[in-house]
Structure 1
Amino acid sequence: MEQEHPKRGRPRSAQADRAILEAARDLLIADGYEQLTMQAIAERAGVGRQTVYRRWPSKATIIAEAVMAGLLSPVPAGMTGGPDAPEPADLRAWLHAAAVGLSDATNLTIVRALAAAAAETEAGAIRLYRAFTEQGRTDLIDLLRRAVAHGEVRADADLEAAADAIQGAVLYTALAERPPRVEHLDSLADLLLTGLAPR
């Protein structure tokens, strides 16, 4: 006698997935994160709300997926220490770029949405860290190494701890009620450079 196999649910539609992600992106840019709802995303994408919930449990995870799919960019221009960074490495320029980038409402909203998504699940946090934060941290450590080579930072400084402090400070200011101010991050640069300077 032939064995019965349990019925499988309908396979996910790549077209529906894309429509949902694009709808979330468009609504996020138009109305901001606070006004974004699962119902509004479903209506704009032309699908049922349960279709959205079956794919993603919250609006934060949808925004995170939109970033992973390349529909949104969470990194303001200039916030890397990669090969295009100026020589000698300039921490003040990096922080200045962070403040300018995060003063843009869309960039700020994306960063806040990603922070919310990372807080929801450990797996989501690890995925987002590997996709974005880890590379940014690596680039920043490279920038600090160049600063050591140019005598701007002392050779015995803990560069990993310094990178964590810098990224943490930028994230904190992004999550605060007001957007980061250039003057505030300039002051942070002064404190960090004083602490990292050769003795």
Structure 2
Amino acid sequence: MAMNYFHRILCRSAMWERASATKIIPWALSGLELGSSALEIGPGYGANVRALLERTSTLTGLEIDTALADRLRDRHGGAMTVVEGDGAEMPLPDREFDTVVCFTMLHHVPTVRQQDALFAEAFRVLQPGGVFAGSDGLDTRVFRLMHLSDTCLPVLPQDAAERLARVGFTDIEIDTGAGSFRFRAHRPGTP
């Protein structure tokens, strides 16, 4: 995953953490209970950690970047468990979490095959009845300009439901907002 300088500065800023806590997470998770055990795929600089900890008692972050995983441990290690690993090949047990979430990171997964593998892994680590939810940016000219020299492969909202269903998710909801889309997909069964 490559991120340009501007992107790295923005994603670790207090402004981005406020935007996440007051806009991104409330919209993406509106009306959704996370349960007692949640996994965030790709927490990056940790902008979502505080807001997620207000919604769940146990938070695990799965981060592919070693330096970011170390930074998360230094900043939030007492409040969450940080696991270094790839969302497309999670080093986590089956049926471990009530909820799996990810925010503004799917477009950094470099191939459609790896994105689909991430969806399958999210399904695998969810308990029956669990929810995979989150948001990502829409593929616009401004979005692409912000990601010059980044890894950037946007997930198209019109394709997301079919891709999630292909790995086993049901009751899939996709909503488009100003500049982003949110999704919710359920693993069938009862907890």
Fold-level match, TM-score > 0.5?
no
| TM-score tier after normalising by the smaller chain length | under 0.3
TM-score by structure 2 length? Answer: 0.28
Bigger Rg, structure 1 or 2: 1
TM-score by structure 1 length? Answer: 0.27
Structure showing the higher helix proportion among its residues: 1
